[in-house]
Structure 1
Amino acid sequence: MVNYGMLEPQEIRELIRKQEITGPTAGMSKGNTQANLVILKKEHAFDFLLFCQRNPKSCPLLDVTEPGSYIPAMIAENADIRKDIPKYRIYRDGVFTEEVADITEYWEDDMVGFLIGCSFTFETPLLESGIPIRHIEENCNVPMYKTNILCNKAGMFEGPTVVSMRPMTPEDAIRAVQITSRFPAVHGAPIHIGDPGQIGIKDITKPDFGDAVPFKPGEVPVFWACGVTPQAVAMESKPSIMITHAPGHMFISDIKDEAFSVL
């Protein structure tokens, strides 16, 4: 069996292009930064850039492509964002219409790609510190939820913050705050710990994106701002077209995690 965690990002991306990898990318190419993706037409790009600037916890920008370019030159100069993600989602006028493995036929010459920091990046230092990550243990996608925390509006873009959740003991949660605080470029510290109802989550067993994971006795939910937020925002703001990664199916960059650590 292939150990995807030990492969270089270029090798992972090649397997994705061949559609030999089609599932979530958590744990792959350990030590390399993973990214969320948003693609918009140029007419909406400035508003979305401003949205990211006003909502850095949910949408920490790692790279923005030139209009018409599908190469994220700052984080992977030989990559192609049309082909290097296992699954993409197409939203038209705010409606999720389809999920595909390649977006070459959807690409237009005025499109701009936004690569946004992903919490999968800080999972490696959490694991190295002995903090278990449940969705990796269960070999499933991280659970993600819409919340009642509203993003700061920018131009046409507005909507709720989406969070990712990891069950932890209270002791591990404290250590996780300390560790992830070092990575503001990939969402940083949690935005909530404990009662899901306080942030508008009615049923922790029914995530809006990803898969539910089990809790062990004594564990509490720990929530991080999530780069799937733009997908919830797309549903509210209804741009003519927005192309994103499918939740949990990330772009794996050539940049090492340490590049985004502030300590």
Structure 2
Amino acid sequence: MNQDTSPQALREAIRRGDFTGNTSGYSAGFVQCNLTILPADWASDFLRFCQANPKPCPLVGMSTSPGDTALPPLGSIDIRTDVPSYRVFRDGEFTEEVNDITALWRDDLVVFALGCSFSFEEALLADGLDVRNVSEGVNVPMYRTNIECTPAGPFKGNMVVSMRPFKAADAIRAVQICTRFPSVHGAPIHLGDPGLIGIEDINQPDYGDPVTLADDELPVFWACGVTPQVALEAAKPPFAITHSPGHMLVTDLRNSQLAVL
């Protein structure tokens, strides 16, 4: 498996259990998605939460009806097996991590696929920028912040962000590039002092792995699709499933299809 592996081949390897790692840098050119799965009677409120918070929760696709395990516009997908790692929540509490949710599947579940920052990393790399989590071969660092999301029904909470360090000129270029990709979080929401958005220790991410931050670099923060996991903690639905941070649904949709020219 590498950056040239097709999305279908990568999903088939995931389905067989041959690939369980984070998906950053794989299947270059194709949209990767965060995942939230909820019972149908919670789905309308979560949809409104996504619509009210498009930066952290940009909706790329969703089930056509409860119980559907396929997402036809995004590829030949079985949502029960085609994500490398899933998180299971019960009453808002994270209870377990699994590589297959077939045994947990229910006929009332609705799938939401949300845009992921891994998709715009390709555009940053193509411009010659060093995407640190890719060059260091680790999962991107993610942090809880003090930035409040707009509530919708029981769903509320503070935004989660992902961070990539850049020198000042490269940070400006990253803003310019990512502005073209609003469906995968768009431009950064903060540059510089992490304390201003409630991050106490940049070397201790809440999710993912720390990366090297040089003295002449700025931490650059993007809204992150792990934010729904914080909203699940607040809403406390009886049952929910998400992707594990960094372990995305890789689709057949091309990043270029989401770009705003």
TM above 0.5, yes or no, is yes
RMSD (CA atoms): 0.7
How many positions carry a matched residue from both structures? 260
Q: 1:159·1:237 contact (CA, 8 Å) conserved in 2?
A: no
Give the whole-Å Cα distance in 1 for the aligned partners of 2:133 and 2:234: 28
> Using the alignment, how far apart are the partners of 2:235 and 2:196 within structure 1?
25
Q: Is the 8 A contact 1:58 1:187 kept in 2?
A: yes
- Rounded Cα–Cα distance in structure 2 between residues aligned with 1:212 and 1:151: 25
Distance 2:207 2:231 in 1: 14
Give, in whole Å, the separation in 2 of the partners of 1:60 and 1:172: 25
1:217 Cα deviation from its structure 2 partner:
2.9
The one-letter code sitting in structure 2 at the alignment partner of 1:233 is A
Counterpart in 1 of 2:72? Answer: 73
Query: Which residue pairs with 2:134 in the alignment?
Result: 136
Amino acid in structure 1 at the alignment position of 2:182:
P
Amino acid at match of 2:66: P
The counterpart of 2:111, out of the listed 95, 110, 113, is 113
Question: Counterpart amino acid of 1:22?
Answer: T
2:223, 2:62 → 1: CA distance? 20
Aligned counterpart for 1:154 among listed residues 133, 152, 155? 152
Q: Does 1:19 align with 2:17?
A: yes
Q: Which of 218, 221, 234 does residue 220 from structure 1 map onto?
A: 218
In the aligned structure 2, how far is the partner of 1:28 from the partner of 1:18? 17
Q: Residue 122 of structure 1: which of 120, 123, 132 is its match?
A: 120
Q: Judge which range, 227-236 or 186-195, deviates more.
A: 227-236
Aligned to 1:182: 180
The alpha-carbon deviation at position 233 of structure 1 amounts to 1.1
Could you list the per-position Cα deviations for residues 58-112 of structure 1 after superposition, in whole angstroms to 9, with x for gaps in the alignment? 1000001021101112211x11111001000001111110000000111100100
Alpha-carbon separation, structure 2, partners of 1:162 and 1:242: 18
SS of 1:74's partner is helix
| Separation in 2, partners of 1:230, 1:184 | 18
Instruction: Tell me the amino acid that sits aligned with residue 249 of structure 1.
Output: H
How big is each residue's C-alpha offset from its partner over 1:157-201, in whole Å with a ceiling of 9 and x where there is no partner? 001100000011111100000000000000000000000000000
* SS of equivalent to 1:13: helix
Q: Distance in 1 between matches of 2:237 and 2:149?
A: 17
- The answer for unaligned runs of 5 or more in structure 2 is none
Gaps of at least 5 residues in structure 1 are none
For residues 58 and 241 of structure 1, the distance between their equivalents in structure 2, rounded to whole angstroms, comes to 22
1:13/1:85 contact within 8 Å kept: yes
Q: Distance in 2 between the 1:113 and 1:38 partners?
A: 6
CA contact (8 A) 2:188 2:223 kept: yes
Q: How does 1:1-263 map to 2 (within 5 A)?
A: 2=1, 4-65=2-63, 66-76=65-75, 78-263=76-261
Deviations 1:113-164 (A, max 9, x none): 0000000000001000011111111111000000000110001100110000
Quote how far apart the aligned CAs of 1:231 are. Answer: 0.6
Residues 154, 234 of structure 2: 8 Å contact kept: no
Distance 1:217 1:47 in 2: 43
TM-score, normalised via structure 1 length: 0.98
d(CA) in 1 for partners of 2:149 and 2:197?
A: 13
Structure 1 residues 176-185 or 227-236, which shifts more?
Answer: 227-236
Length-normalised TM-score, structure 2: 0.98
- What SS does the aligned partner of 2:170 have? helix
Contact 1:70/1:82 (<8 A) preserved:
yes
